[in-house]
Structures are given as C-alpha cells and as structure tokens.
Amino acid sequence: MQLSSLRIDWTRNETLVPLVIIAFCALAAFSDPSFLSIPTLTDLLRGSIVLGIFAVAAMLVLISGGIDVSFTAVAAFTMYSTAMLLNTLAPDLPWYAAIGIGMAMGAALGSINGILIVGFGLPTLIVTLGTLSIFRGFMLTFIGQKQITTLPPGMREFGRMMMIRGTNPDGSFYSLPWAFAATVGVIVVTWFILHKTMLGRSIFAIGGSLESARRIGINVRATQFFIYVYVGALAGLAGIIHSSMARVANPFDLVGLELSVIAAVVLGGARLTGGHGTLTGTLLGVALIVLVRNSLVVIGVPATWQMVVIGLLILIGTGLPAWQAKRAAARAA
C-alpha cells in the first residue's frame, strides 16, 4: 500500500469535524468527569432526533442546488394541525396513523414550495422564506400562543415508547425513545434514494449543473418537485416526533432552529452551490451542533453564547477547507 493512500485529506469537513467533536468531549470531560456517561450519551442521541431529520432534509435540498428554510414552519404547522384534527375527529387513532397523517400534511405543504419553484421558476430561498412567513403568520393569526397540552392518546403513547431505559448506580436516570429509530429509518431511506436510484443521481446532477442535467435528459422539474415534497414529509414526521416527546403541541416551539440545522449540514461538508453533500458529514455536523448545545454550560460557557459558537463553527468549518483547497490549487498551478 502506498503512503499517499494513507494521507489524510485535511480539506474535508468529514476529517475536521470529528477532531472538533473529540476536542469538545475532552474539554467537557475535563470540566465534569460525569460527562462521559450513559445518561449524557442518551441525552445527546435524544437531542439529535429532530435535528437529525431536519438536517437530512436540508442536505437533500442543498445537494440539488437549492436552499429551504421553511421546514421548521412546516413541522410546527403539521404537529399542531394533526394534534387538533385527531383530538376533534379521531382521538382513538394509533400512533402510526398520527405519523402518517403528519407526513401527508407535511408533504402537501412541501408541494406548495415545489409548485412555486418548479412551476414558476422562482428562487428557492425566496420561495421558502415566503412560505415560512405564510405558515407562521397563519398560525399567529388564527392560533396565537395557544398550546395543545392534551395530545391525542396515540401521540402520547408514541412519546412514552422507549428503546432503552435504566438507572445508573448513582441514581441518575437515562432513556432513549423509539423515535430515534425513525431518524435511523430516515437516514437509511435517504441513503438508498441518493446512492441506489436514478433519482438520487439526478439530484446530484441538478446540483452540479442544472443545464447539463437537462441536456442529458434528466426530468429536472419532476426531480425538484419530489425533493420539496419529500422534505415536507420529513418535516411533518419531525413535527409529530417533537410534539410527542415534548407532550405538548406548541405552534412556535421550533422557531429559530433553522440556523442550527443549516449549520450542521454546512459543517458536514455540503456546499451552498450544490452538487455535493454526504450523510456521514451531515450526521457529524448534527453531532457537533448537539454537543455544542448541550456542553457549553458544562465547560463554563454561558448558554447565551450558543449562537456565537455555532456561527464561529460555520465560519471555520466552511472557511478553513476552502482556504486549504485554494492553497492546494495554487501549489499545483
């Protein structure tokens, strides 16, 4: 085996992000030895459930050369509407029916983005900013701050279903809900779509060059429409999971999460210009963001600095590989 094949590519985010994760864990463990424990691990995994689903959805859009910031509004609208609908019309439906209804409702809202982008050729950022405002404005007008504190029985049951549950010798309790399996399922299905189907190849091709994708016969409009419907369905799933675990449907519970999600995807190596992105990198980005959100207090940094730290990570995670790639290109020239 040649030594060149063992050389680490320091320009890849998939290389840099794990190093930052290890550094954060080491610092947190030094500040609090109990950080490296099963309760902490399950807390981090629990915190990655909704963020992970959102990140997979956002990654798919970025690969295609677009950007979607409306997924949190779709999730909030879906979880509230589904809970209200089931409480009013069908309170006895099982949890999987609630998830199915939520995903269908999210797909319908996602199709609105798809129609505006595909049918009218509008920029993805402008469209999703507009629908973000519409969905949130609609809820603010007709619902206000009213929360649904009594969820349908099926959603409450789903929130109580645990994969892992136990108690440490020191009395600390830990648990991991079955909702984590939904995140794993989303990752597996999305991996299959991206790497084992022509649809996935079309998504990468569109992100690489829209005009080239058209010239080789890819149905660009159908592919783009699928992306936003699929993203809407994932947002609907994330909304149902979030409200089930929180035991409440708060119409504005997910407001502001867009930055953390896009940060995770960008830190994972997805390019805003499209055509590139990996599930491995995205999951590493999610792990880093969740770690930052959960460990700042442990290492003595006030929680109010959370967004500052995330912003710095975005700048470093995107700027350093670009700088190193530019240096490598200059040396090769």
Q: Does the pLDDT at position 159 exceed 70?
A: yes
- Token pair 């809900």 is found at 177
Q: pLDDT tier at 212 (50, 70, 90 boundaries)? A: very high
| Cα 209 from Cα 238, distance rounded (Å) | 31
Beta bridge partners of 167: 173
| Cα 20 from Cα 3, distance rounded (Å) | 25
Return the domain boundaries, the chain: 9-320
* Pick from 109, 101, 148: nearest CA to 130: 109
- Measured at the CA of 314, the angle between CA 213 and CA 290, to 5 degrees, comes to 105
Q: pLDDT tier at 1 (50, 70, 90 boundaries)? A: very low
* Pick from 88, 113, 108, 83: nearest CA to 98: 83
Q: Are 282 and 59 in contact (CB under 8 A)?
A: yes
CA-to-CA dists, residue 286 to 262, 290, 309, angstroms: 10, 6, 14
| Cα 87 from Cα 126, distance rounded (Å) | 35
Q: Which string of DSSP letters, residue by residue, matches 257-297? A: THHHHHHHHHHTT--TTSS---HHHHHHHHHHHHHHHHHTT
Residue type present at position 199: L
- What pLDDT is attached to residue 10? 56
Q: Quick one: how far is CA 225 from the chain centroid? A: 19
Q: Are 110 and 233 in contact (CB under 8 A)?
A: yes
Share of the chain above pLDDT 90, in %: 57
* CATH number of 9-320, picked from 2.30.30, 1.10.287, 3.40.50, 1.10.3470: 1.10.3470
- What pLDDT is attached to residue 75? 97
Count of CA atoms in the C-beta half-sphere (13 A) of 311: 5
pLDDT (tens digit per residue) in 83-138: 999 999 999 999 999 999 999 999 999 999 999 999 999 999 999 999 999 999 99
Nearest 5°: phi and psi at 67?
Answer: -150, 135
- What pLDDT is attached to residue 3? 44
Q: Are 29 and 291 in contact (CB under 8 A)?
A: no
Q: pLDDT tier at 7 (50, 70, 90 boundaries)? A: low
- What pLDDT is attached to residue 4? 47
Instruction: Point out the least confidently predicted range of 70-84, 227-241, 300-314.
Output: 300-314
| Cα 319 from Cα 313, distance rounded (Å) | 10
Q: Are 228 and 114 in contact (CB under 8 A)?
A: yes
Which token pair is 163? Answer: 């994969």
Check residues 317 and 119 and name the one with the higher pLDDT: 119
Helices (H), the chain: 13-31, 38-63, 71-89, 95-114, 120, 124-142, 153-160, 179-196, 198-208, 210-215, 220-246, 258-267, 279-295, 306-332
Secondary structure (H, E, C), 54-78: HHHHHHHHHHCCCCCCCHHHHHHHH
- What pLDDT is attached to residue 145? 77
Task: Average the pLDDT over 210-230 and give the result.
Answer: 95
Q: Does the pLDDT at position 36 exceed 60?
A: yes
- Max CA distance (Å), the chain: 68
